[in-house]
Structure 1
Amino acid sequence: MPLIKAESLKVGTLRELLRERDLSTKGTKAELVTRLIEGAGTDEFDIEDESNELKLLRDVVSSLAATVESLSKKIDSKSEKHNSDIPKKIVSDDHFNHSHSIRDIVELLPDFEPTKTSSLTAKAFIQRVRQLATAYNWNEAAVVFAVQTKLNGPAKLWFDSCGLIFENLKDFAEALESEFPHVENEADIHFRMSSYIRKPTEPVLDFFYRVYAEGRKGQTSDAAIIQYIRRGLNHGPLQNAIAPLNFQTTNELLDAVNRFLANRQRLPEASQRKPENDGHFEPIKKLTATPVKNANRVCYNCFKPGHISVNCPQPQRLERCAKCSKTGHTTEFCKSVLPASRNINQVVSDGMPDQVSRETGRITKNILLDDMVVDAFIDPGSDRTLVRESVARNSIPCDPIILKGFAGGSFVCDKKINAVITIDECVVNAVIYVVNDNLIPNALLLGSDVLLSKNRRMIIDSDGCRFETIKPLNIKPETELSSNEKRQFNEMITEFRQCFAETIPEMGRCQTKQMDIQLIHDKPIQSRAYRIPLAKRQVVDRIVQELLDNEIIRHSNSTYSSPIVLVKKQNGEDRLCVDYRAINEATRKRPYPMPTVDEIMSQIADSTYFITLDLFSGYYQIELTESSKQYTAFITHNGQYEFNVMPFGLVNAPMEFQSVISGIIRKMKSKRVINYIDEVIIGCRDIAEGMDLLRELLTILKNEGLTLRPSKCTFFARKIEFLGHTVSENGIMPGTCKINAVVNFPTPTSITEVRSFLGLTGFFRKFVQNYALIAKPLTSLLRNQIREFKWTEECEIAFNLLKKHLSEEPVLALYKPTSFHEVHTDASMIGLAGILMQSEDQLTWRAVFYYSRQCSDAEQKYHSNELEVLAIVESLERFRLYLLGKRFRVITDCNAISSTKTTTPLNHRVARWWLKLQEYDFEVTHRSGSRMHHVDALSRKPAEPSAHPNTVADLIMVVEINENDWLASMQRQDPVLKGIIDVLSGKTQSTQESQLKTDYKLKNGRLMRRLGSDLKFVVPNPVRWRVVRSHHDDVGHPGCEKTLARLRDYFWFPMMRRYVKSYLASCVECCFNKIPTGKREGKMYFEEIEPIPFRCLHIDHLGPFPRSRKGNYHIIAISDPLIL
């Protein structure tokens, strides 16, 4: 034998040579060659050195080659006969025109690699090999040899290592299938089929056969395969076309698909660009036969070409049920009983009334058609309402209309009925068109003509759909309109009714913007909860449930939490408000540029009419990003919750709201629409222009998903107040409200009042030319030698002149958002006051806005600190538009107010007021009263009468408050209660499980005791004393029965009465202050003490006390009077 280079040897030979030399056989071929050359000292080897197995294999190959050569000759002689017997789809004619060598056989055989999902299974691989061998009449020995070369991956490694020689295909197939069995359950097949979605470039038929082939691997039913094909078609026109059709077999579905594709190919190019199945209906004036046009159309009734189903001479096909295979009804109305065992591949959609089918996305609902209850299919995409012919009664002829969209074709309808449809107490008189039973999936198809009828609204959710009658709005314009203008206005309001909300369920949600909260650190913030009285917890539960029902909040497991405060409104109702001060301190502030007042005013300066719009609970219409919701979490006694929408009190909320409104205004074509924070104003020269602008804005609001509060909107007003200015058709004038506090300052009647007024004017004396000369008559009254107060005409002139100077430039400045601002506040028992100050350099300050009002009788009794806080709150609310979105300073002469912003917890009254200020970014600075005469004067002579401004609860619809639920955690530390909790939650088993489930219940993770129909909190043993103390010591030390009554309202623990009696008997205050019942103790008897130790002992006992660690609960005191 000649020498062969190591590089030319096969891997098996290399490994055999390495084994003979005790060398490693692992690695790539290059590594094996290198290792063999280094071990043998040469790169040429004699094949004679091969093992016996290799020699035997070589002999087999030689014999096979001889056999194949003889077979090739026979194949040549019989090629003509085989060429006529073999199907053309299996192999081309060229394969029979030459002798088949081993190489030819190898080329025709498929590969087998078990690790690839696209590869054939072992069983399928062997079946393919046998089919080819039979078709080509191959010699079995040649096939066995050739098939071994098609093994790849693990299969090749298996064959190389098994050391077996297969003489026939049967033995090879058994060994291969045994080594690589195909294990695949039906669930895997369904999982893959459910993920199949047709690619946009993939032919529809290719996708059909891809899903079909996968289903046939696991013997999946036709019903399941049809559902998977429907779901993954990704072809809108085709899916719409086959949606109303029911298929029993995949062949029926394939026929429908082929007909649809064939019809589309025959359509003109323009028609293919705009599919016909858009669900619209076109009236026709005359029906004419068009045999040429329909010559190539296929009938959907008899499946023959040349006509359409409406002209089919054959009887109409009846709809067949996919469950029982009977005609006359569909699956939804089938009364047959399914077999007891349902296979996983049986996909059956048992549509129930008023239910959303997750497989098909269809919504059905029981409705009343005249006096008959029918199952209706909700289809807002249809222009007409349709009814099955078998259901319609008293049908009448009508002008024919073409119904487009059924399986890519059309249906001519010439019958209708007039009926009364009742849906959820909404009654509609409808015209319903009659169609064949097999064209719609239910007895009735509700189209948009009924669903979107006037003053009706359809709401679709996961539970189905419901219909509501829309309450018409009663909106009256401020200006008298002509009859035509009034009609246009009312029609517009009705058309955009969904843009107005009068209740929270009607409120919209912004579709284009979400609020994102970013903190400056990742450390969780868990503020200490404020305590809420037990009697108020039911109020908290009710409000939380309302917010949950309206999806304003949701349950939470956030690591952040803020306290809540229960706030009482003017009408006596309670509101829940969240204290977000800690979150606001850690929030990264978002700057947002505010437009200048001059720029805003110039856009509406030449308007005649004005429209002002206000959003309904505007903050609640802006959703939070998913990552931001955790930061708004708050805790109540029944769990933790977080907001889905932007709550009141977040420091960045005003800027986010301004951003949303500004985005809407930017979409307007006209520049005559302006906004500042939450105020939107439309200016127009005439009514027609106002109508056009209002329609444009309402259209944008509708697309954005936002809603307005009609009671706060004004339409076509002649004059409005905006940013401290009065805007009318006469131009822009300074508003009177900002100077009322000065203009209405009363005439002084004493020296003290004169001094107060001069304190106000003296603060701005640098802006008043010749101030000293003007004020001289007033300052003369302050001289010590003048003892009698006398108000002269000169004093009156000076007084009025100074007020005039204070209410106009240069003392009163126009507001500039880019300037620095301060709010100076003061309060007295007489009134509250505030002045908005502005400066360009923080050195010279000028007034922008004055505010003062009298205190009510109740407010006059407040503590001075509370009045100072109230002055700040009301001043900032009055100056709100000027201060939102910017940093400013509050100046007060009350030093205690400086720490109010960071004090926790706050006084309840102060806390309610202070919550209104969470959206402002400010700091509080103390300044001595001697430097605050200007604002002190306004507080002592307020211009406005006392009023009852909106409380926090009137302005906030937010939630907060609670205590740490330490009782729930203590339950899990009590071994007895923890065992019960484990049994109820299924973690452990117990022989008393049924009894425990009867007596106890887990609610929100807390163990509750069933007492009749009530659930009481189970109090752990270690904290019973604390619970009793809170219901006895903290509420005035009531007696045993009252204490028990309080406890039994919420709690339960064994032998409660005995424990309470024991606790009350050991209460020191009760023993000291209360006179015990029964016979009074007699007076203590004293006797002379003999000077002998232990001759006389005094003994007494105290108790019972709470049991000690050693089990004692009484104290015995013994003393020797001699020692004392």
Structure 2
Amino acid sequence: MNSPGNQQLSVDVSELIKAMLEQNRLREEQMRNLVDKLMEQNQNCLTTTSFVPNYLQLIQNFDGETGDTGVADEWLSALCTAAKLNNWPDTYTMEAARSNLSGPAKQWYLSHMEELKNFDDFRKLFKVTFTSEESITNIWKRMYDRVQGEKESVFNYYHEKVRLCRKLKLNEDETKKIVCVGLRSRDLVTALLSSSRNTEPELLADIRMFMEVQAEHSGRVDHTRPKEIVVKPSTTSTTNNKWHKTKSNEQGNLNIPTVPTKTNNFKPKEYSPKCYNCQLFGHIARDCTRTKRPFKCSKCSIEGHTAKNCTATKSEVTLVNSNLHQTPTNCYIKHVFINNSNEPVSGLVDTGSAFSIIRKSVAEKFKLVVTPKEVKMWVYGNTQPVTSYGESQATLCIDTVKELVECVIVDDELQKYDVIVGRTFVDKENVTFIKTNDQLHFAYGMKFRFEDSEIRKKICILQ
């Protein structure tokens, strides 16, 4: 049996061990708390570190000229991403935004500068102004007008056109059709339309394959095609100098230069301008330093003026002059009596004219009732149409024939004859006329030697 003293000693040792373990636990807990605090302080130091923005690499310039909401969204997203990655405070972000605005966007910022207290205010007002929802009509118009530029890459055009199609929510077939409409290469359009692949990745893969094959094919063709060397004469040579062309043979040696048979029709390979003053290539007549040649009219071949200012080409509608006091030498010039008047006027019988035409002064003299009306009349040749002053009715009397006809009234300077008797008079059913060597005679019921009835009778007798 243990004595009471030994029992008391064992109890004291147990309490001592428990106390030591508790102290160790507390010390470890304090160490963990201390380490956590140190780590937290280090983390706080890292989060508060800011870097000066690099505008050239992170954010592009925005001017707001195009009105494209997608461009504005992209610019604002790039600005927010740069601020987040570099831990920019509002002052840095606002400065970066201000420094990358130009044009209308810069003017917008200056007009609202007092309202923009922080970056949140800037972002909200920027979205309202530049990223508002675009109308479907405007998007459709931009998509319809978007075509590939002359020196623009196919891929740049493709991605922008597809972005516009996505805004309109077009399906794959419609997107493919719209993309093909704006392409410059017909061969590429044919290749895409002949394929059943319509998705965006498939279209892009087909375009990439076509461009690679085309580049490889053109490179091979250029190497296999015989090269031509064009020897250009010096600028001091005259127009009699000839252009020599040499071809390389299969071994790479140059043949003897050959001269084309028709040097006048031969053109240099470089499509340089030609001077019509000295007949040399490389400049135009405006910049020619030689003595200017005199102007020569291409119509009358007279020097001193051009065809635009030529007066020799001006002609009038009237064919010949007339004089009532002289006996007409042309059988088609007749004396015409208007509305039972005893005073004759000069008339020209024109069986090719669709109208009977009277001068305005003659119509006023005989008090014709003129109705304003514009009738355009053309004549043979490269001339402008003649426009009438009006129309009227008049009784025309030639020889023994008197008929009421429709007449066209024209200005006096358009014709020298008082009346031009046209088909409205000569094509009357009861009007007949006969022409001999020097006479033209009008009459009613004129008998001709050979009529249709007599010809039929003779044919029947012969049969």
Q: Provide TM-score, normalisation by structure 1.
A: 0.18
Considering only CA atoms, is the larger Rg found in Structure 1 or Structure 2?
A: 2
